[in-house]
Structures are given as C-alpha cells and as structure tokens.
Amino acid sequence: MFKLYWDVARRAVRARIALLRRIPDAGYVSEWVLLTALLVSAVLVVVGIFVAKIIAKVNGIEL
C-alpha cells in the first residue's frame, strides 16, 4: 500500500517537473518576487531612519 502512494507521488512530481521544463519563463516569477521583497525592505529601512531622525529633531526643539 505504501509503495502505491510512493509511486503516485513520484509520478506527480515528475509530471510537474516536466511541465515546468516546457515553460521557459517559469522561474522568473520567483526572482521578481525576491527582488521586490528586497527593495521593499530597503525602502522601509530608509524610511525608518528618516522618521527616527525627524522625531529626534522635533523632540530637540525648545518651546
């Protein structure tokens, strides 16, 4: 029984790999997602630094 499940799973994985090999642009989506995530995180870091500096400057103002 276990051999049957293993065989079905193996055939499904092989079919999926064969399908992905037929589509030449299949891997580019993950690269764009990773690049977008890195750019968004860099923007958040820069905005956080600016906000921290602005808040420090505002807190230093004497009324």
Q: What is the pTM (predicted TM-score) of this model?
A: 0.54
What pLDDT, on a 0 to 100 scale, did the predictor assign at position 26?
Answer: 63
Residues 6+ apart with CB under 8 A from 20: 26
What local confidence, expressed as pLDDT, does residue 62 receive? Answer: 84
- Tens-of-pLDDT digits for all 63 residues of the chain? 667 888 888 999 999 888 878 877 666 777 888 999 999 999 999 999 999 999 999 999 887
Short-list 27, 7, 31, CA closest to 19:
27
